Amino acid sequence: MLLVVSLIPMPGFAVAPGLTLDPEKPTKAAITKNNGWDNRVAASIASLGITGDATMGQTLPSITSAKAQLGMKLFFTKGLGGDKDAACVTCHHPKLGGGDNLSLPIGVTAEIPDLLGPGRRHLSAGADFDGGPTVPRNAPTTFNLALWEKVLFHDGRVETISGGISTPDSGHGNIDPVAGSNLAEAQARFPVTSPEEMRGFAYEAGNSTAALRTALETRLQTTGAGIDALNSNDWLAEFRAGFGSTADAATLITFPKIAEAIGEYENSQVFASHRFKEYIDGNKAAISTDAKKGAILFFNSVAEGGANCASCHRGDFYTDEAFHVVAMPQIGRGKGDGTGSDDFGRFRLTGQAEDKYAFRTPTLLNVEKTGPWGHAGGYTSLNAVINHHLNPQSAIDNYDFNQLENSVQVDDMKANTQRAIDTLEVNRSAGLISPILENVSLTGKQVDQLVAFLKTLTDQCLNDDSCISAWIPASSDTDPDGLRVNAVNENGLAL
């Protein structure tokens, strides 16, 4: 039975105003004290090898390259959606932090396909669903995708393994021979196969993912009416430009090349230059004293009086690329596990008991822009996310599952989330996993300081429309099939 849940896009998610530095002229005593904080931050990050530069040593693609430009056009076209009503950008818009600002995404059959973010709704109740989101997990950001070395997706089902990359096509632990050369490229083959995200429920229904991809290739090679062609079609010229080739459509417009171009575009979304880096590079005024105190809490262990965040959010990319049970609210329809509305996370791949409810540690670069947070988007404020880490049981006891409509579902969601906490407790008492989430006692002020620190990890490009617009097609750019998402918000304003 398909579960019925109408999840309203969580209210109250708004980007908090930027930090302002203390305007008062510091006294001599304050300066000495400040040096004290600086010294302590310096000691913490030195011992952990933090440099502020997550991109070190890597050659990353530029958005101005021909291939990335082609990838951008593919990322923005509904022509890759089965029913021509959803594109990659539907859930990963550069102006929405590389996500969609919703707890759980709405992909196909939206009331207004080009309306993104809060206010996006499914067409009114069909036979299968009630208008709520059908996608069971929060859309992670595509920003800094190139910096992931090991795993993509909340459960890591696209994964670097010895000799290649494993994907849902090859299965856990097996090399997918057509995955391509990087994780972004490997991942880009899959959203088109998901009925809820892009494929729809009728297009190539019952056919294999291979047949589906072939049908999409054919569509992009063909001009004409109907679902198997495009009314207007300039893709051949675009692929020729993107790949610097004069080959024919059958050679150029193939799924491996579609994925390669989309991957290039995503990998060009490098937003890793932030105020904390500026601070590490020597500008001691680049971040506030509160942020410095937050950094010390973040990097120090509990024994040292810190919150041990860096044990999992490790290094300059702020992730160990590993899986941990943190037991964030399990809301929405779930992945069909357990009771049906549950999501077992990494366990779905490994079958290991300790992986049940384990999800990938997210990067914290630009985290201020990538909410709502958690694998199911259960939290709409960073303070709440942190409070959850400090004491999951008390956070869940106080969590308002009634933000979601449908009371039957609420009981399921509560029970599923409690099972995740119970698994955390079992793992804690077994004492076999390290690092493991510890309960930590912090004051509200200290939580604010952690939030102040997290907000220093935002790339300034994201606060500058003229900078971020390089990753959005301009109105003067060609629209190869007339199916580009011209994104608007709920007030009808262009994103």
Binding ligand HEC (rule: CB under 6 A), the pick from 115, 220, 328, 421 is 328
Point out which span in 5-13, 135-143, 411-419, 480-488 binds ligand HEC (CB under 6 A): 135-143
Binding ligand HEC (rule: CB under 6 A), the pick from 197, 260, 316, 355 is 197
For the bound state, the minimum distance from the C-beta of residue 92 to ligand HEC, rounded and expressed in Å, comes to: 5
Question: How far from 85 is each of 148, 198, 203, CA to CA, in Å?
Answer: 30, 8, 12
For the bound state, the minimum distance from the C-beta of residue 381 to ligand HEC, rounded and expressed in Å, comes to: 10
Q: Name residue 484's beta-bridge partners.
A: 77
187 touches ligand HEC (CB under 6 A)? yes
Measured from the CB atom, the residue of 181 and 283 that comes closer to ligand HEC is 181
307 touches ligand HEC (CB under 6 A)? yes
For the bound state, the minimum distance from the C-beta of residue 46 to ligand HEC, rounded and expressed in Å, comes to: 20
Q: How far is CA 475 from the centre of its chain?
A: 27
Binding ligand HEC (rule: CB under 6 A), the pick from 230, 450, 452, 483 is 450
Q: Residue 112: which residues within 8 A CB-CB, separation 6 or more?
A: 120, 488
Place of tokens 């904390």: 276
Q: Residue 49: which residues within 8 A CB-CB, separation 6 or more?
A: 315
Binding ligand HEC (rule: CB under 6 A), the pick from 10, 188, 365, 452 is 188
Q: Return the residues of window 21-80 that contact ligand HEC according to CB under 6 A.
A: none
107 touches ligand HEC (CB under 6 A)? yes
Specify burial of residue 83 (Cβ count, 10 A radius: 0-12, 13-18, 19+). middle
Exposure string for 126-143, b = 16+ CB within 10 A, e = fewer? eeebbbbbbbbbbbbbbb
Binding ligand HEC (rule: CB under 6 A), the pick from 3, 382, 413, 495 is 382
332 touches ligand HEC (CB under 6 A)? no
Tell me how far apart the alpha carbons of residues 463 and 291 are, in angstroms, rounded to a whole number: 19
370 touches ligand HEC (CB under 6 A)? yes
Select from 438, 390, 348, 413 the least CA-distant residue to 154: 348
Measured from the CB atom, the residue of 18 and 224 that comes closer to ligand HEC is 18
Contact between 72 and 269 (Cβ < 8 Å): no
Point out which span in 205-213, 239-247, 280-288, 362-370 binds ligand HEC (CB under 6 A): 362-370
CA angle 376, 382, 384 (to 5 degrees): 75
State the number of CA atoms in the 13 A half-sphere of 215 facing the CB.
20
Tell me how far apart the alpha carbons of residues 2 and 5 are, in angstroms, rounded to a whole number: 9
For the bound state, the minimum distance from the C-beta of residue 235 to ligand HEC, rounded and expressed in Å, comes to: 15
152 touches ligand HEC (CB under 6 A)? yes
Q: Name residue 471's beta-bridge partners.
A: none
179 touches ligand HEC (CB under 6 A)? no
Binding site for ligand HEC (CB under 6 A): 86, 88, 90-92, 105, 107, 135, 137, 139-140, 142, 145, 152-154, 184, 187-188, 191-192, 197-198, 262, 266, 298, 307-309, 311-313, 324, 326, 328, 359, 361-362, 364, 367, 370, 373-375, 382, 385-386, 389, 435-437, 450
